[in-house]
C-alpha cells in the first residue's frame, strides 16, 4: 500500500507546500494506485494520466517560483461523471452521451481547478445519477471494496470507492436523495450534503430548486471542510447561492461539545424501517456523543409530509430534465417511471407539495430550537447485494420502488438542513455503516464540527478495505 495514497488531503497539501513532496510524485502515486486497484472495483471510468502529469509538472514549476500556492495545490481528483469537464469525456452514465466531450468545465470543477486540484479522470455513476446503486450501460457496475459482491451506493459511488481505495484524497459529488451520503456510508468515508445554495450550480434548469445540491467527499471531515472551502461561495448567476465566502470553512474544526444538545433516532421517529445492524450503530453513536459531554436524548422531528414533498418535487424535476429524452427509448425503466410521474402532476399537486414543504421546514426549525444536532441512520440498510437494483425489503418491510429504501436520507433532503455522513461502525460481517449528523438550517460549519468531534473520538474512519491492505 502506497502511504502517499492514504495521507490526508491536508497532510498532502502541507507536504506539497513545503516541497517535501512534488506534485508529480503525488499524482504518479495515485495513478499507480488506480492501475493496481481500479480493475477490481471499477470506480474510475475515464483516465487522463498524461494530462494529469503535465498539470503536475506545471504545479511543481509554480511551487519552484516561490508564488503563493492555492488551497488544493497538487491534489489529484477524478470528478464525478455527472460534472462537465472541458476536453474530458463526460457521459452521465448514459448511452446517449457515451462519447460526449464538453467544451467547458462546470462551476464545481472550475473552482477546484482554479484552487490547484489536478484532474486525473472521472468516477462512475448510476445512469443519470438516478438511484443509489452505481451501475450503468456505459461502464458497468462499481463494486464495494469491503465486499466486492456488494453495492457501492450512489450516485457518487465511484467517488466514494476511489476515496476508500486511496485513488484520490478528495472528491466532488452531488446529492438529491442521498447521493453524497449513501455511498459515503457504504464506503466508510465522509460525504457532506451542504445547505442548498452553499455550493452554487449553474447547470440546473430549475435554479430556484433546493432539492439537489453539490458538495464534498473525503476520508475525513477536515479534508471535506478543506474542499468545501473551495467549492462554497456566492455566484451571481445562481438565485439561491449563499453570500458567506468559502473561506469560512477553512477554520479549525475542533470544538468542545460539552453541553451541546443532541437528539437521536434509529428510525426517524418510527417513520421508516431500519435493519437492526444499522440501528445498533446509530445507538452506539449516541453514546459516543454522550461521552463527549453532550446532553443526549432520544427524539426526532415530525417528518410528516416529507415523503410527498420529496417525491412530488423529484418527479417534477425529472420531467423537466428527462421529458425531452423519453422519446429516445434509451432511458432505464426507473427514470422513465419517475419522469412519467412528473408528467401526471397537476398545479394543485405542486401547490400542495410546496405547502407541506413549508410546514415541514417550520416544524424542523422549531425542533432545532431545542437541539443542536440530530443523529440518524444514513441508509436504512448496510451495503446490499450487487445484483439487486435496490433492496427488495428492509427489516421485513417490502420496498415498492427504487426510492423506498432511501427515506432516511431523502426525508432530510426535504428539510433543507445540512447533513453529514461520517463513518459510524461496521456490521458483524465487516460492512461499513455511516451515521448521519443533521444540523439546523444553514448551520453547515457546526455540523462539520460535530462530525469531526465524533470522528476524533472513534477509529472507524481509519479502517481500510482488505483490498488495499493485503
Q: What is the DSSP string of 206-274?
A: -TT--S-EEEEEESSHHHHHHHHHHH-S--TT-TT---S-GGGGGS------TT-EEEE-SSTTTTS--
3-state secondary structure of 223: helix
Q: What are the pLDDT digits (tens) for 160-216?
A: 999 999 999 999 999 999 999 999 999 999 999 999 999 999 999 999 999 999 999
Give the separation between CA 53 and CA 32, rounded to whole angstroms: 12
> In what helix (H) or strand (E) does residue 53 lie, and over which residues does it extend?
helix 49-64
**CATH no. for residue 220?**
3.90.1300.10
Region at 425 (left for phi over 0; alpha for psi -120 to 50; beta for the rest): left
Q: What are the pLDDT digits (tens) for 360-389?
A: 999 999 999 999 999 999 999 999 999 999
pLDDT of residue 260: 98
Q: Point out the residues that are catalytic.
A: 80, 155, 179
Among 393, 382, 407, 34, which Cα is nearest to 187's?
A: 382
Q: Which domain holds residue 28?
A: 3-469
Q: Which three cell numbers stand for residue 59?
A: 504545479
In this predicted structure, the answer to whether residue 115 has a pLDDT above a threshold of 80 is yes
> In what helix (H) or strand (E) does residue 281 lie, and over which residues does it extend?
helix 276-291
Residues forming beta bridges with residue 375, ordered by sequence position: 264, 437
Give the separation between CA 436 and CA 70, rounded to whole angstroms: 31
* 153, 183 contact by CB (below 8 A): yes
3-state secondary structure of 104: coil
Q: What are the pLDDT digits (tens) for 232-279?
A: 999 999 999 999 999 999 999 999 999 999 999 999 999 999 999 999
Give the separation between CA 186 and CA 197, rounded to whole angstroms: 26
In this predicted structure, the answer to whether residue 95 has a pLDDT above a threshold of 90 is yes
Among 462, 77, 23, 10, which Cα is nearest to 225's?
A: 10
* 178, 378 contact by CB (below 8 A): yes
Q: Residue 95, exposed/middle/buried by CB under 10 A (0-12, 13-18, 19+)?
A: middle
How many residues does this entry show for the chain?
Answer: 470
Residues forming beta bridges with residue 44, ordered by sequence position: 123
Say if strands 118-123 and 76-80 run parallel, antiparallel, or are unpaired: parallel
pLDDT confidence of 1, banded at 50, 70, 90? very low
Which 8-state DSSP code applies to residue 340? Answer: H
Looking at the whole model, is its pTM more than 0.85? Answer: yes
Give the separation between CA 81 and CA 138, rounded to whole angstroms: 11
* 298, 264 contact by CB (below 8 A): yes
| Mean pLDDT over the full length of the chain | 98
- Counting the structural domains of the chain, the total is 1
Amino acid at each position: 500500500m502506497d502511504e502517499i495514497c492514504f495521507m490526508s488531503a491536508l497532510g498532502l497539501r502541507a507536504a506539497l507546500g513545503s516541497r517535501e513532496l512534488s506534485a508529480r510524485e503525488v499524482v504518479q502515486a495515485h495513478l499507480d494506485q488506480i492501475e493496481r486497484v481500479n480493475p477490481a472495483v471499477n470506480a474510475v471510468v475515464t483516465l487522463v494520466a498524461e494530462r494529469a502529469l503535465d498539470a503536475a509538472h506545471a504545479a511543481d514549476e509554480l511551487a519552484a517560483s516561490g508564488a503563493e500556492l492555492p488551497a488544493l495545490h497538487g491534489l489529484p481528483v477524478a470528478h464525478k461523471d455527472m460534472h462537465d469537464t472541458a476536453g474530458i469525456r463526460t457521459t452521465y452514465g448514459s448511452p446517449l452521451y457515451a462519447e460526449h466531450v464538453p467544451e467547458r468545465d462546470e462551476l464545481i470543477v472550475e473552482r477546484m481547478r482554479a484552487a490547484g486540484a489536478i484532474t486525473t479522470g472521472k468516477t462512475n455513476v448510476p445512469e443519470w445519477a438516478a438511484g443509489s446503486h452505481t451501475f450503468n450501460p456505459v461502464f458497468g457496475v462499481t463494486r464495494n471494496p469491503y465486499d466486492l459482491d456488494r453495492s457501492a451506493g450512489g450516485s457518487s459511488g465511484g467517488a466514494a470507492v476511489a476515496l476508500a481505495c486511496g485513488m484520490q484524497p478528495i472528491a466532488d459529488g452531488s446529492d438529491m436523495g442521498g447521493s453524497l451520503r449513501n455511498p459515503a456510508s457504504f464506503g466508510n468515508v465522509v460525504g457532506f450534503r451542504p445547505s442548498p445554495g452553499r455550493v452554487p450550480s449553474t447547470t440546473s434548469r430549475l435554479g430556484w430548486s433546493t432539492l439537489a445540491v453539490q458538495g464534498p467527499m473525503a476520508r475525513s471531515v477536515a479534508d471535506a471542510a478543506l474542499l468545501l472551502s473551495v467549492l462554497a461561495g456566492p455566484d451571481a448567476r445562481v438565485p439561491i447561492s449563499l453570500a458567506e465566502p468559502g473561506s469560512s470553512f477553512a477554520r479549525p474544526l475542533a470544538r468542545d461539545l460539552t453541553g451541546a444538545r443532541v437528539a437521536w433516532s434509529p428510525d426517524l421517529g418510527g417513520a421508516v424501517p431500519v435493519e437492526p445492524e444499522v440501528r445498533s450503530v446509530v445507538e452506539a453513536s449516541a453514546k459516543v456523543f454522550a461521552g463527549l459531554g453532550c446532553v443526549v436524548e432520544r427524539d426526532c422531528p415530525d417528518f410528516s409530509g416529507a415523503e410527498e414533498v420529496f417525491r412530488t418535487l423529484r418527479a417534477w424535476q425529472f420531467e423537466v430534465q428527462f421529458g425531452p429524452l423519453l422519446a429516445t427509448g434509451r432511458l432505464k425503466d426507473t427514470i422513465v417511471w419517475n419522469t412519467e410521474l412528473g408528467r401526471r402532476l397537476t398545479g394543485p399537486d405542486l401547490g400542495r407539495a410546496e405547502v407541506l414543504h413549508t410546514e415541514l421546514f417550520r416544524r424542523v426549525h422549531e425542533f432545532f430550537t431545542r437541539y443542536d444536532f440530530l443523529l440518524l441512520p444514513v441508509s436504512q440498510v448496510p451495503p446490499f447485494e450487487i445484483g439487486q437494483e435496490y433492496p427488495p425489503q428492509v427489516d421485513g418491510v417490502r420496498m415498492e420502488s427504487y426510492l423506498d429504501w432511501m427515506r432516511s436520507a431523502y426525508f432530510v433532503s426535504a428539510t433543507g438542513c445540512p447533513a453529514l455522513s461520517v463513518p459510524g461502525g461496521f456490521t458483524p460481517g465487516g460492512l461499513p455503516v455511516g451515521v448521519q449528523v443533521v444540523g439546523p438550517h444553514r448551520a453547515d460549519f457546526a455540523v462539520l464540527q460535530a462530525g469531526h468531534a465524533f470522528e476524533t473520538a472513534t477509529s472507524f474512519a481509519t479502517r481500510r478495505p482488505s483490498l488495499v491492505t493485503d
